[in-house]
Structure 1
Amino acid sequence: MSHGHHHHVDPDSGDGKIALAVAINLGLTVAQVIGGIVAGSLSLIADALHNFSDAIALIIAFAARKIARRPANADMTFGYGRIEAVAALINYTTLIVIGLYLVYEAAMRFANPEPVAGWIVVIVAGIALLVDLGTAALTFRASKSSVNIRAAFLHNVADALGSVAVIVAGTLMILFGWAWVDPLATLLIAGYILWQSATELPQVARILMLASPDALRTEDVIAALRDQPGVTDVHHVHLWLMEEHGAAFDAHIVAAQGTDPSALRHALKSYLKSEFDLNHVTLELETQDAQCRDAKVIGH
């Protein structure tokens, strides 16, 4: 059974849309900050801060996307693809800092409630919601193929939900005069931001920590190799994510007596590509008489 995971991604797709999304988010941030100050609404300013982080996230994502296309060189022999994971880490870390700051500000506002102009909050947040949904639509397609763009896309989705919370809060303040709803909405926005970051960070960490792909068990690859004709043992195995959509494999193969090393290496590389979609493969062949002693199966 094949374990292939093929991804055909146009590296240039979506660049114009991402640039447009950056411009829209920067404009929206300015409008929300002004509206929040005029209305005296912490939740609207919280939404503006999150929106500003959206713009920064998109700028970082856009720059990383460009850098990732550079070819390998003497300094970066594996290429620049992993920069997208680094950018995603920066974006999620920024989200966590923003989320914690909003929790603090909401707690202070609960202790010292202030009057809020509900109509301004509802109108500005309504405009923000439309912009957030439009921006998310611009980055949705690119988010499917890039952990980096997905981080920026999720910024926008979270901000759209934040705008909904602000609209609800503003409506309740208009109808009932409940000033405490404003910091409550801020806490909801902050909670979602923190939850979102906590669920997405592990995948980014796996890439940066050279972990194996989620959908591919190292033990399965080892077992499959040991079953191949001409192979008597496999050790010193490494299987890791080069970047989000590319895994690499490295191993020592002990060849059976009388096996042609060149033919065996070629056959195993072809097998690993067709069965497990492993394109970056390095195999060191050993004889039974001159193989590594007391070698670990996984790692050195």
Structure 2
Amino acid sequence: MPHDHAHHHPDPDALAGDRRVGVAVAVNILLTVVQIIAGVVSGSLALVADAIHNLSDALSLVIAFWARKLARRPADASMTFGYGRAEVVAAMVNYTTLIVIALYLAAQGIERLFNPVEIEGWIVVVVAAVALVIDSVTALLIMRLSSESMNMRAAFLHNIADAMGSVAVIIGGTLILLYDWRLIDPIITLMISGYILWHSWLGIRPVISVLMLATPDDGPPLEELITAMQAIDGVADIHHVHHFRMAEHEAALEAHILIEDEADPLRVKNDLKSLLQSRFALRHSVLEFETRADACTAPQRIGH
């Protein structure tokens, strides 16, 4: 079975990834403190907005770090499916927080459009340039990990967004220095807010799908899967089908199988398991076998 992995010995790659995440958290928290101080001193809302977004990234990395470690725990009596969904839950928390922050920044940016304040352009440009370097370093630290989980992918995209935000702040600070155009600061704040909202929406959709036990969007069409199973010799009907993700990278299938009276249940089960693994890469399946004598009454093809 695919769940019989050994979890008792630390994975060197996982530990190395944890260290990279730890370094990324440290540099992002340091950058956030510097940006907030500089934003208050300079009067730049855009710089404070970028700092708050950066802080959310640091907190996201903290949650991701905790979730990565928790997800590696083996199944136990209280969590019989294991802890793999810890990272999915953490991703939901991260994206929800980002959406709230982005809406707050949008409200502040709109208020500044009608009440612009004086801004120290040089402080904005210098601090944003430092932020751009640190955001780029952080993105490089977690780039490899971004393919492993929703959390790390979100953190990577957030750091890319931070880098782009820093570029926007540098441009805004330069325009303030050259033309004293104070409205550029709230305009950039609104742009950063919109960018965060857009990426949060794109990121939260697959997270919700996993938590809602949706059919995997990268898997085969459900009808194709059912048709292939029904083609197995000895299978009369299939109903109560559930195809879902137990964790981000692990799909599962549950179904009731009505077998022909003369069929060998053990052979049918082995044939179905082999089909699901070899053709559809479904290593976790729970199949309940029925005969015509004890079959479900008026069963639904999909779900209960």
Q: Compute the TM-score of the two structures, normalised by the length of structure 2.
A: 0.93
Q: Deviations over 1:141-177 (max 9, x none)?
A: 1111201211222221111111111001001111111
Secondary structure in 1 matching 2:116: coil
Task: Indicate whether 1:261 and 2:244 are aligned.
Answer: no
The structure whose RCO (Cα within 8 Å, separation 6+) is larger is 1
**1: CA distance, partners of 2:278 / 2:64:** 32
Q: 1:207 aligns with which of 200, 204, 210?
A: 210
Following TM superposition, where does structure 1 have runs of at least 4 consecutive aligned residues deviating by more than 2 angstroms? 10-13
Counterpart mapping for 1:75-86 below 5 A = 75-86=78-89
Q: 2:285 aligns with which of 281, 285, 289?
A: 281
Secondary structure in 1 matching 2:295: coil
Tell me if the contact between 2:232 and 2:268 (Cα under 8 Å) persists in the aligned partners: no
Counterpart mapping for 1:240-259 below 5 A = 240-259=244-263
Segments of 5+ residues of structure 1 without an aligned counterpart are: 1-9
**1: CA distance, partners of 2:78 / 2:277:** 27
Identity across the alignment (%): 54
Secondary structure in 2 matching 1:84: helix
Q: Which residue of 2 aligns with 1:158?
A: 161
Counterpart mapping for 1:81-230 below 5 A = 81-216=84-219, 217-230=221-234
Segments of 5+ residues of structure 2 without an aligned counterpart are: 1-12
By how many angstroms is 1:40 displaced?
A: 1.0
Greater alpha carbon shift after TM alignment, 18-27 vs 254-263: 254-263
Secondary structure in 2 matching 1:14: helix
Tell me if the contact between 2:232 and 2:271 (Cα under 8 Å) persists in the aligned partners: no
**2: CA distance, partners of 1:265 / 1:242:** 21
User: How many pairs were matched up?
Assistant: 292
Tell me if the contact between 1:11 and 1:69 (Cα under 8 Å) persists in the aligned partners: no
By how many angstroms is 1:219 displaced?
A: 1.5
Q: What value does the CA root-mean-square deviation take over the aligned residues?
A: 1.3
**1: CA distance, partners of 2:209 / 2:246:** 10
**1: CA distance, partners of 2:269 / 2:16:** 37
**1: CA distance, partners of 2:214 / 2:151:** 17
**2: CA distance, partners of 1:137 / 1:87:** 22
By how many angstroms is 1:280 displaced?
A: 1.1
Q: Deviations over 1:157-210 (max 9, x none)?
A: 111111111001001111111011011110100010011111111100000001
Q: Which residue of 2 aligns with 1:231?
A: 235
